[in-house]
Amino acid sequence: MSEVAFTKDRFSEIMTMLSTDRVTLTSIDPEPVQRRNSTWQRYEASRDSAMAMLVLHTRWELPDHVVFILSRDMRRVCRPSTWSGDTKLVKELDRRLLDADGWYLGDGKG
């Protein structure tokens, strides 16, 4: 899927945009997790019985941005990786991120 960066001032706008059309975002981590030079916070996006994992990530290279990572394979942030996202919901949220005019960083595979 993809990694898309947005400036921090657009954070609430992007979270609201992702939460439309009956999609609920629930934080998996009670607070952001510090890993080396970056910070992660995982969210579960759900609609009916479909689920996807969305990761908010800050990087030292992009201090004024929040990176949204959306992928079906979340091994790099969820071990052991028993997480399996709903393909249709992941693709829909991915399209929303790409349509929001963020800075596309890659395919979300690491």
- How high is the pLDDT of residue 73? 61
Q: Which pair of tokens denotes residue 86? A: 């709903």
Going by C-alpha positions, the residue among 38, 35, 11 that lies closest to residue 25 is 11
Fold of the domain built from segment(s) 2-106: Double Stranded RNA Binding Domain (3.30.160)
- How high is the pLDDT of residue 90? 85
Percent helix, strand and coil across the chain, each to the nearest 5: 20, 40, 35
Q: Provide the residue ranges of all domains of the chain, joining segments of one domain with +.
A: 2-106
Question: 77-86: long-range contacts (C-beta < 8 A, 24 or more apart)?
Answer: 77/40, 77/42, 77/53, 78/42, 78/53, 83/53, 85/51, 85/52, 85/53, 86/50, 86/51, 86/52
- How high is the pLDDT of residue 23? 93
- How high is the pLDDT of residue 81? 57
- How high is the pLDDT of residue 76? 58
Q: Output the tens digit of pLDDT for each of the chain's 110 residues.
A: 688 999 999 999 999 999 999 999 999 888 988 877 788 888 888 888 888 888 888 888 888 999 998 876 666 566 555 666 788 888 898 899 999 988 988 765 54
- How high is the pLDDT of residue 72? 65
- How high is the pLDDT of residue 11? 92
